């Protein structure tokens, strides 16, 4: 028998959710007068850290000439974040312009409500021809075509790096002969651009599987970084005991210049070190840190190559000046910081992402955007660039003025973060965080553990938890209040739990609230 309290909670949440949700059949848009329809290509990678690009200098020897080209010839968003550092929730936020607690895709298993509207649906209404190529992995793991796209090329779940099974407009195609998925998706993209209706503006959503683990580079890139000097982060050994794993090569940053507050490292962080997502038992011993690091860098080369092929196509066809190319990661990734790998948590390397944009007709070369932008800003930004006003249900804000080099006095002063505990990966508890340009406050929900407060400017590696400092108690209370106010204002006080695999709740999976 279904518990009456559970049903009451579901009903209550459904009523609050309806404020933002719309039915797909009611899609309409309001045009921005005098706006020129612009060709747009959005390239999304998976688990790409914000600083693992050649031009940042984070990894000496790493070369990403095509990503560097976008940054040098366009705009680099230096403080880009996701509101949830997990594939499906972040992808849903990109597509809907909504936070995870609003669109309710809170983990990698939950289906998306049918009431969600994806921003390419508005582009279609505005006369765009739209296309999707790659990893969907949101709202269920199938490869079937989704709303908003005239051309659909995708695969189920995480897909495969080699010899992928691709759904092309509803028809499955099995690749062989060591076909590499990053190349296959890029081929489809360029082929569609060649055959498109040239009388209409176009939108391309190129969504790569790379660089998601397990990391498998293209054959041409294997061994490229086998001799690179690995950079161990200063916090990698901060949670380690005397029996911690030793590493056999590379460089560890000098930790003597940093203050480590060992006492106030959360217990869940200490415990996770020896787990599926910890450096001392990575994927339960299936790999080691050095190989993991090198494989990631080599797999990233396929993405950079793809970006270069797209840029070269645009130039060869006279489209490179007017077409807007945006590159982004769906979330960050830890490489040993706090003894962790993976994402999910609210530390910088997890919630920060690369975000680059290039369009010589629109963006001044070398533009650096310092303001904090979010994944929920992508949808309203692209819509504004296409001449479509932001729909009411979207919670993000267009960053077009920032990209054009215009300062905005009323831009957000903080970003908010949420991650919800997952049954398959119980080592990371529910996380809520608020980050300003100076401080970050993190609370772990549902576990008996310490909150965290960091001075990001003075302590960028988040080594010194200041939560006990007497002079910062008012600050901690203020940030905590901001966090709860945000959840209240955006109707996020109720976690949208979704039982997986129970047919009694099929009406919830399908979004019939």
294/401 Cα distance (integer angstroms): 38
Residue 185 tokens, joined: 């998706």
Asked, for residue 18, whether it belongs to a domain, the answer is: no
The enclosing H or E element of 195 equals helix 181-195
Is residue 443 within 8 A of residue 419, CB to CB? The reply is: no
- In a domain, residue 256? The reply is no
- Tens digits of residue pLDDT in 59-82: 999 999 999 999 999 999 999 999
**Is the Cα torsion angle 268, 271, 272, 278 positive or negative in sign?**
positive
Residue 234 lies in a domain: no
User: How many structural domains does the chain have?
Assistant: 1
DSSP 8-state assignment for residue 180:
B
Cα distances from 93 to residues 59, 118, 213, 258, 330, in angstroms, run 29, 9, 22, 36, 10
- Spatial distance between the Cα atoms of 494 and 230, rounded to a whole number of angstroms: 43
User: Per-residue DSSP letters for 74-91?
Assistant: SEEETTEE-SS-SHHHHH
| Helix, strand or coil, per DSSP, at residue 41 | strand
d(C-alpha 151, C-alpha 149), whole Å? 5
Q: How many Å apart are CA 389 and CA 31, to the nearest integer?
A: 6
Residues 6+ away with beta carbon under 8 Å from 56: none
User: How far lies 350's CA from each of 180, 330, 334, 341, 393, in Å?
Assistant: 27, 10, 6, 9, 27
Between CA 295 and CA 307 the distance in angstroms is 19
pLDDT per position as a tens digit, 234-245: 889 766 643 344
Question: Could you report the per-residue pLDDT of 462-475, keeping only the tens digit for each?
Answer: 999 999 999 999 99
DSSP assignment letter at 350: H
pLDDT at 352 over 50: yes
With cut-offs at 50, 70 and 90, classify the pLDDT of residue 260: confident
Integer Rg of the chain from CA: 22
Indicate whether 13 belongs to any domain. no
**Token pair belonging to 58:** 């984070």
pLDDT band at 14, cuts 50/70/90? very low
Per residue, the 3-state secondary structure of 278-314, as one string, reads: ECCCHHHHCCCHHHHHHHHHHHHHHHHHHHHHHHHHH
Asked whether residue 241 is assigned to any structural domain, the reply reads: no
Tokens 């910088």 correspond to 348
CB 436 within 8 A of CB 418: no
User: Please, what sign has the CA dihedral across residues 51, 56, 57, 63?
Assistant: positive
Q: What is the mean pLDDT of residues 278-283?
A: 92
Tell me the pLDDT tens digit for each residue of 185-198.
999 999 999 999 99
Between CA 299 and CA 36 the distance in angstroms is 37
Question: If DSSP codes are grouped into helix, strand and coil, which group holds residue 168?
Answer: strand
The predicted structure's pLDDT at residue 486: 98
When pLDDT is averaged across residues 440-469 and rounded to a whole number, the result is 96
Residue 317 has pLDDT above 50, yes or no: yes
Is residue 107 included in any domain, yes or no? yes
DSSP structure string for 364-380: -TTEEE-S-EEGGGHHH
Backbone torsions φ then ψ of 126, nearest 5 degrees = -85, 5
In a domain, 276, yes or no: yes
DSSP 8-state secondary structure symbol assigned to residue 94: H
How high does pLDDT run on average in the chain? Answer: 90
Report, as an integer, the average pLDDT of 299-310. Answer: 98
The secondary structure of 110-146 as a DSSP string is PPPPTT---HHHHHHHTT-EEEEEEE--SSSS--S--
To which residue do tokens 């983990």 refer?
107
Measured CA to CA, the distance from residue 298 to residue 282 in angstroms comes to 19
Give burial (CB, 10 Å; 0-12/13-18/19+) of 165.
Answer: middle
Question: What does the pLDDT look like over 78-130, one tens digit per residue?
Answer: 999 999 999 999 999 999 999 999 999 999 988 889 899 999 999 999 999 99
Per-residue pLDDT tens over the stretch 149-191: 999 999 999 999 999 999 999 999 999 999 999 999 999 999 9
> Residue 21: inside a domain, yes or no?
no
Q: In percent, how much of the chain has pLDDT > 70?
A: 88
Domain at 265, CATH number: 3.40.720.10
Cα separation, 201 vs 39, in Å, equals 5
In which band, very low, low, confident or very high, does the pLDDT at 497 lie, cut at 50, 70 and 90? confident
Residue 253 has pLDDT above 70, yes or no: no
CA distance 472 to 438: 13
Token couple for 192: 């569609």
pLDDT of residue 13: 39
Low-confidence winner among 34-48, 306-320, 494-508 (lowest mean pLDDT): 494-508
Average pLDDT of span 330-349: 97
Question: What's the pTM value of the predicted model, to 2 decimals?
Answer: 0.91
Q: The domain containing residue 277 runs over which residues?
A: 37-219+261-509
Q: Cβ distance 450 to 465 under 8 Å?
A: yes
For the chain, counts of helices (H) and of strands (E): 13, 20
Strands 430-436 and 40-45, sheet pairing = unpaired
Q: Is the pLDDT of residue 503 over 70?
A: no
Residue 2: band (very low, low, confident or very high) from pLDDT cuts 50, 70, 90: very low
């Amino acid at each position: 028998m279904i518990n009456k309290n559970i049903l009451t909670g579901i009903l209550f949440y459904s009523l609050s959710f309806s404020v933002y949700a719309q039915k797909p059949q009611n899609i309409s848009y309001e045009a921005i007068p005098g706006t020129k329809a612009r060709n747009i290509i959005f390239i999304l990678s998976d688990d790409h850290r914000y600083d693992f690009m050649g031009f940042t200098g984070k990894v000496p020897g790493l070369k990403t000439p095509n990503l560097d080209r976008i940054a040098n010839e366009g705009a680099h968003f230096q403080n880009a974040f996701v509101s949830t550092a997990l594939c499906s929730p972040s992808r849903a936020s990109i597509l809907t312009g909504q936070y995870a607690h609003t669109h309710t895709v809170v983990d990698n298993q939950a289906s998306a409500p049918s009431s969600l509207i994806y921003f390419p649906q508005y582009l279609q209404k505005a006369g765009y021809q739209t296309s999707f190529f790659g990893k969907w992995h949101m709202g269920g793991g199938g490869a079937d075509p989704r709303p908003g796209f005239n051309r659909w090329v995708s695969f189920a779940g995480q897909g495969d790096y080699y010899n992928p099974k691709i759904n092309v407009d509803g028809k499955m195609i099995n690749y062989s002969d060591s076909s590499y998925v990053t190349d296959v998706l890029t081929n489809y993209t360029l082929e569609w651009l060649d055959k498109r209706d040239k009388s209409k503006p176009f939108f391309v959503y190129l969504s790569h599987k790379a660089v998601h683990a397990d990391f498998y580079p293209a054959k041409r890139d294997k061994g490229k970084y086998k001799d690179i000097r690995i950079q161990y982060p200063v916090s990698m050994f901060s949670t380690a005991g005397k029996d911690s794993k030793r590493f056999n090569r590379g460089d560890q940053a000098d930790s003597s210049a940093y203050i480590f507050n060992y006492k106030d490292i959360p217990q869940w962080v200490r415990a996770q070190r020896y787990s599926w997502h910890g450096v001392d038992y990575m994927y339960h011993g299936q790999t080691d840190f050095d190989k993991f690091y090198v494989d990631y860098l080599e797999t990233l080369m396929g993405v950079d190559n793809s970006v270069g092929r797209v840029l070269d196509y645009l130039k060869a066809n006279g489209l490179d000046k007017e077409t807007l190319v945006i590159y982004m990661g769906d979330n960050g990734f830890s490489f040993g910081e706090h003894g962790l790998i993976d994402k999910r948590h609210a530390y910088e390397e997890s919630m920060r992402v690369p975000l680059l944009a290039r369009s010589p007709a629109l963006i001044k070369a070398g533009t650096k955007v310092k303001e904090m932008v979010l994944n929920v800003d992508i949808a309203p930004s692209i819509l504004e660039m296409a001449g479509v006003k932001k729909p009411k249900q979207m919670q993000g804000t267009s960053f077009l003025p920032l990209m054009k080099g215009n300062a905005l006095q009323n831009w957000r002063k903080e970003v908010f973060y949420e991650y919800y505990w997952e049954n398959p990966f119980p080592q990371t508890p529910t996380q809520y965080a608020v980050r300003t340009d100076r401080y970050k406050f993190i609370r772990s929900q549902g576990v008996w553990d310490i909150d965290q407060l960091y001075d990001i400017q003075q302590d960028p590696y988040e080594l010194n938890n200041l939560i006990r400092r007497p002079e910062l108690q008012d600050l901690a209370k203020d940030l905590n209040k901001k966090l709860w106010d945000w959840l209240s204002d955006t109707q996020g006080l109720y976690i949208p739990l979704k039982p997986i695999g129970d047919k009694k709740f099929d009406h919830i999976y399908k979004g019939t609230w």
